[in-house]
């Protein structure tokens, strides 16, 4: 099995783990993982990493994500979506466009969010949703998230359809509940679609059936995971030294993280620069040559 990434269109009704289990059989590999869990009822972009590419999972997890979400007013459930048990109801009214815009504006930028009980966050060795299913409430600490964009697609009599661009760690179910609360109503997610995860877009995603039919057609280079990082082009000697873990001086290199590119545009891994000195952070394909390193 080749190393790489597949941009999967996760269907509703499957967990992210279900998708991995299915593809593990299709691709006949054990070294496989996904970037960014999607709720079972949600659909959309789920980048799946295979082989050596799994070492780059953390870099996609850092990227911003985009969603289209529908919040229905008047009910609130224990799971935060319409598959859960109703725990709160309220009267429903249609806020003005000005009221909606003012409410959404309060959620833009850096905000604090308390993770929901129905989440995969671990507490004392167990996932929160395991406590929730047992009827146990666990205290959760609010976390800092970023909402980069929050726009109304459609406003109906009892719902809002929103486009959201957010940082990692954002729970859209909780965001929609909080938006409904700010408008004086209960609310719950009735539709959720992830439209982008970093560089991976919905328009390019493949269904499980398409992947099973011809997975190589949908296999992307591991480098696709870090396309958001600038390139640093290396000489053969520099590529060899960095592959061997040797910190290397490269004049004119600004501080920051880079995609390391050996001659012939070969991606070898990730490096960090500080004071024009570059250190390999993660080498995926070590560069080899007959050069003698001094």
Rounded to whole angstroms, what are the CA distances from 99 to 95, 114, 200?
Answer: 6, 24, 34
Beta strand pairing call for 187-197 and 43-50 = parallel
CA-CA distance, 151 to 158, in Å (whole number)? 17
Could you give the angle at the alpha carbon of 161 between the alpha carbons of 184 and 83, nearest 5°? 80
Q: How far is CA 93 from CA 60, 106, 184, in A?
A: 40, 20, 9
Number of C-beta neighbours around residue 165 at 10 A: 17
The one catalytic residue among 3, 18, 39, 41: 39
Token digits of residue 289: 């040559």
Would you say 63 and 201 are in contact if contact means Cβ atoms under 8 Å apart? no
To the query of whether residue 39 is one of the catalytic residues in this protein, the response is yes
Distance CA 178, CA 175 (A): 5
3-class SS of residue 130:
helix
For 116, other C-beta atoms within 10 Å of its C-beta total 18
Provide DSSP, 136-179: -------EEEEEEEEEEEEE-SSEEEEEEEE-TT--HHHHHHHH
List Cβ neighbours of 55 (8 Å cut-off, separation of 6 or more): 282, 284
What is the set of active-site residues?
39
């Amino acid at each position: 099995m080749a190393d790489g990434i597949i941009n999967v269109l996760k269907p509703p009704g499957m967990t992210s783990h279900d998708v991995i289990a299915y593809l593990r059989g299709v691709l006949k590999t054990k070294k496989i993982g996904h970037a960014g869990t999607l709720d079972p009822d949600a659909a959309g972009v789920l980048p799946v990493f295979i082989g050596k590419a799994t070492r780059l999972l953390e870099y996609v997890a850092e990227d911003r994500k985009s969603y289209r979400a529908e919040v229905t007013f008047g009910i609130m459930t224990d799971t935060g979506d319409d598959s859960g048990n109703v725990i709160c109801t309220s009267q429903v009214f249609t806020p003005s466009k000005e009221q909606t815009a003012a409410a959404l504006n309060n959620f833009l930028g850096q905000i604090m969010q308390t993770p929901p009980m129905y989440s995969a966050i671990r507490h004392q060795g167990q996932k929160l949703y395991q406590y929730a299913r047992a009827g146990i409430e666990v205290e959760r600490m609010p976390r800092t998230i970023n909402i980069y964009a929050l726009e109304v697609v459609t406003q109906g009599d009892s719902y809002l359809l929103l486009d959201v661009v957010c940082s990692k760690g954002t729970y859209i179910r909780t965001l929609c509940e909080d938006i409904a609360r700010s408008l004086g109503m209960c609310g719950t997610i009735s539709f959720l679609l992830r439209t982008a995860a970093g560089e991976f877009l919905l328009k390019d995603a493949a269904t499980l059936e398409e992947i099973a039919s011809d997975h190589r057609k949908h296999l992307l280079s591991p480098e696709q995971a870090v396309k958001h990082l600038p390139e640093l082009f290396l000489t053969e000697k520099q590529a060899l030294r960095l592959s061997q873990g040797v910190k290397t001086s490269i004049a004119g290199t600004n501080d920051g993280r880079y995609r390391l590119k050996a001659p012939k545009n070969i991606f070898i891994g990730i490096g960090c620069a500080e004071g024009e000195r570059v250190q390999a952070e993660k080498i995926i394909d070590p560069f080899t040559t007959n050069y003698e390193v001094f």
